[in-house]
Structure 1
Amino acid sequence: MSADATSGNAGRTTDRLLGVLMVFAEAEHATAAEVSEATGIPVSTVYRMLDRLSATGFVQRVGTAYGAGPVAVRFAEKYRNGALERTAIGPRLERLSHESGELAAFMVPVGTEALCVDAVEGARVLRCCYTRGAVQPLLRGATAEALLAHLPESRRQQVYAAYRLPAERVRALEAAHPLVREQGVAVSESALDEGVWGASAPVLGDSGSLNGVVTVMAPAALTERRRPYYVRLVKEAARDLSGGTI
């Protein structure tokens, strides 16, 4: 076997292992069959991978299913207590939440989902799906629109393919991206949670690559007149966090 073929096989195995791990980043528990369905990897191969991941502590057996193992939990804790706490994200979200009085969150693209890295509750208790560690499909809502609009085309196509979106839906999503990029913000209402309005602005690195998005969410019925103010605040927060390593 050539070196290129060996390298290609190793890369494919790594991609598959990462795909399996991503399942447990999104689901508390999953059977081998559910992992197979989510990743497209044959069940027999999934079992072998789960055995390897169990042996190293990345996953653990939970009855007839599997869940995140102690090593994965330690990674999450180190991220929360180490890297994340040393960034400007938390303090800037606190300020944004204080200024707006609403829930503020920082979201990053992970695979085909948006992961909530951090969130700060506002003065009003808002029932919505954005809490620390929660994931949402990159399909609808201000956060998904802002993330998709700033992802490379190849990455967007992977998302569309993963969700088997029809061609007309893909065209509609793609048609909205230039305006989002031009305005520097995406807005939506009741896209994920009924009665919740949201605005999301991209946080970009020095090279223009996407780091994540800052999002503000508010009750739609109570805040219509304040929406331009929220848009300004979320764009200012995103601009403050952009331009380098956050």
Structure 2
Amino acid sequence: MGESETNGRTVKSGQTLLAVIEALKELDGASVSELAAELDIAKSTAHRHVTTLAENGYVDQIDDTYTLSFRFLDLGGYVRDQHRLYKQIRPSLERLSEETGELATFIVEDDGMGVFVYRELGSNGVNTAARVGSHTYLHQTAAGKAILAEFSEERFEEILDRHGLPRKTAHTITDDAELREEIEEIRRRGYAYAAEENTKGLTSVGAAVYGPNDALLGAVSIDGPSHRLQGEWLNDEIPQVLLSAINEYELNVSYL
């Protein structure tokens, strides 16, 4: 068997396996028939891949339904915790959630998308659908827009070309010129706002976080109900608390 044939079959098989994993996540579990229909593949192919995942502990089976196992939680935890600078930001999030009573989040950029790495819920905080590990479009959140504001024009263009500006709510910015204008304001101000642009009824304030050698790590945000996050609390106090916590974190890790 030639090298090109081997590589081609391996890549195709691997892509199908990854597609099965993604489908099991999107469908909240599925039977072989449902997987085959969802991915437009033969039932035998779906069965072969899902059986391989089950035999290796990545999928659980209840009757004829397959679901992703906790093995992925272990992998996700490993990916997050292997970066010590990410781990060290958690106390700052805990402080923010305690001081504000709201939800504090930390996201990083991955392939032009935002990934939620940590979430800390304050005493009055409201939970959201954004779980740890989930992805979001950067232009839809305060933390994401804070990250976009740190990028060069070239990187900014790459992300817009690849992902566009999809709408999540009626308030999501979907106009290129409007987003650029807001990005300039974020750069001037030092932090970003998102008013119900990702989740109806939720307002956020976010700012970028840097590590040693001026490396952009991600962004932290404080998120809460729009009826609470308004006026002086939103425009003065929350940004001050947010930037103070980030500054303290950056000083603590500056020589690591």
Normalising by structure 1, we get a TM-score of 0.68
How much has 1:84 moved relative to structure 2? Answer: 7.5
The structure whose Rg is larger is 2
Secondary structure of the residue aligned to 2:222 is strand
Q: Return closer, same or farther for 1:245/1:53 CA change in 2, 3 Å cut-off.
A: farther
Say if 2:107 and 2:144, in contact at 8 Å, map to a contact too: no
Aligned counterparts of 1:71 and 1:244: Cα–Cα separation in 2:
34
Q: Does 1:220 align with 2:226?
A: yes
The number of equivalent residue pairs is: 240
Map Cα deviations across residues 189-229 of structure 1 (whole Å, 9 max, x no partner): 22233332111222244465543321101232234211122
Q: Which residue of 1 aligns with 2:136?
A: 137
What residue ranges of structure 1 are gaps of 5+ in the alignment?
A: none
Match of 1:196 among 176, 198, 202: 202
Letter paired with 1:226: W
Q: Return closer, same or farther for 1:195/1:86 CA change in 2, 3 Å cut-off.
A: closer
Say if 1:160 and 1:170, in contact at 8 Å, map to a contact too: no
How much has 1:149 moved relative to structure 2? Answer: 4.7
The sequence identity of aligned pairs, in percent, is 22
Q: Which residue of 1 aligns with 2:164?
A: 160
Say if 1:102 and 1:124, in contact at 8 Å, map to a contact too: yes
Secondary structure of the residue aligned to 1:229 is helix
Q: Does 1:169 align with 2:174?
A: yes
Aligned counterparts of 1:181 and 1:32: Cα–Cα separation in 2:
50
Q: Mapping of 1:1-246 within 5 angstroms? A: 17-18=17-18, 20-22=20-22, 28-30=28-30, 42-44=40-42, 48-76=48-76, 87-109=87-109, 114-130=114-130, 132-133=131-132, 135=134, 137-138=136-137, 140-149=140-149, 152=155, 153-160=157-164, 169=174, 171-172=176-177, 175=180, 176-206=182-212, 210-224=216-230, 225-227=232-234, 228-242=236-250
- Bigger shift: 182-191 or 71-80? 71-80
Q: Return closer, same or farther for 1:215/1:37 CA change in 2, 3 Å cut-off.
A: farther
Aligned counterparts of 2:13 and 2:78: Cα–Cα separation in 1:
26
Letter paired with 2:50: L
Say if 1:103 and 1:216, in contact at 8 Å, map to a contact too: yes
Aligned counterparts of 1:172 and 1:79: Cα–Cα separation in 2:
36
What RMSD in Å do the two structures reach over aligned CA positions?
4.5
Normalising by structure 2, we get a TM-score of 0.66
Letter paired with 1:198: S
Map Cα deviations across residues 142-185 of structure 1 (whole Å, 9 max, x no partner): 23433455574445533339x699xx936257524444345442
How much has 1:126 moved relative to structure 2? Answer: 2.3
Say if 2:85 and 2:211, in contact at 8 Å, map to a contact too: no
Letter paired with 2:227: A
Secondary structure of the residue aligned to 2:124 is coil
Letter paired with 2:57: G
Aligned counterparts of 1:191 and 1:99: Cα–Cα separation in 2:
24
Letter paired with 1:135: S
Letter paired with 1:146: A
Aligned counterparts of 2:148 and 2:30: Cα–Cα separation in 1:
28
